[in-house]
A and B are shown apart, each in its own frame.
Chain A
């Protein structure tokens, strides 16, 4: 899973600030997924994107959260006006095809809101 690059690895934000998390998928992969992992909780699906398209955002909170995967550059998960409850590990995964194939995960970004 070293091929999926996430940065930063750790991010500290004060309440009310914006957090931007970046994910570069494995070479040749055009499908990107974002998951959130809270302490003592399992990984929860947030959003599924292909280049320039949001395919499924059913797991995204309705407010303050947005995601994009532009034609050029990494996928971005953006959290506006962060609150303490946003503190979690955010993981990105990529796969070469849609469905039935393994998704490879990055090392995650650990967001701490103080």
Chain B
């Protein structure tokens, strides 16, 4: 069974204090690993898709990386508006496109 574990559960940062969010996964064959951002009361907002180990993608203050067992979401010099829950999900080969999600990491950035 595909599994996704995210850590830590919650993270509090000072504005400008860089950090990383971890996503560990086990999957029979990885088709893609996805990062989403979710604000309270809203639906998940797509951030990145990574397909193979060694791949990296960047968007503003966020950079996602992928190895064969885990993915990191690096946040550089965060701002209060980066406060949200960050979700990691995997899609397995032959899985008919369904995503298996972790429980998410709640990030709070203090001004």
Q: Which residues does A use to contact B, with CB under 8 Å?
A: 1, 4, 6, 31, 33, 35, 40-45, 48, 55-56, 58-59, 91, 95, 98-108
Contact = CB atoms under 8 A, between A and B. Distances in A.
Contact of B91 (A6, A40, A42, A100): A100
A63 B46 CA distance: 32
Contacts of A101: 49
A102 B49 contact: yes
A33 B45 contact: no
A43 B97 contact: no
Contact of B32 (A100, A105, A107, A108): A100
Given A42-B104, A99-B31, A99-B91, A1 B44 contact: yes
A31 B97 contact: yes
Contacts of B91: 99-100
6 contacts: A43-B89, A45-B100, A56-B96, A99-B95, A101-B49, A102-B49
A33 B89 CA distance: 14
Given A33-B98, A44-B101, A95-B97, 8 more contacts: A31-B97, A33-B99, A42-B101, A56-B97, A99-B32, A99-B95, A102-B49, A108-B42
Contact of B43 (A95, A99, A108): A108
B43 A106 contact: yes
Given A42-B87, A48-B96, A102 B101 contact: no
Nearest to B34: A102
Contacts of A59: 98
In the complex, the 8 A-B pairs of residues with the closest C-beta atoms, listed nearest first? A105-B43, A56-B96, A42-B101, A43-B101, A42-B103, A45-B98, A102-B46, A105-B44
A4 B46 CA distance: 13
A56 B98 contact: yes
Contact of B45 (A1, A43, A45): A1
Interface string B35-71: 0100000111110010100000000000000000000
Interface in B68-111: 87, 89, 91, 95-104
B34 A33 contact: no
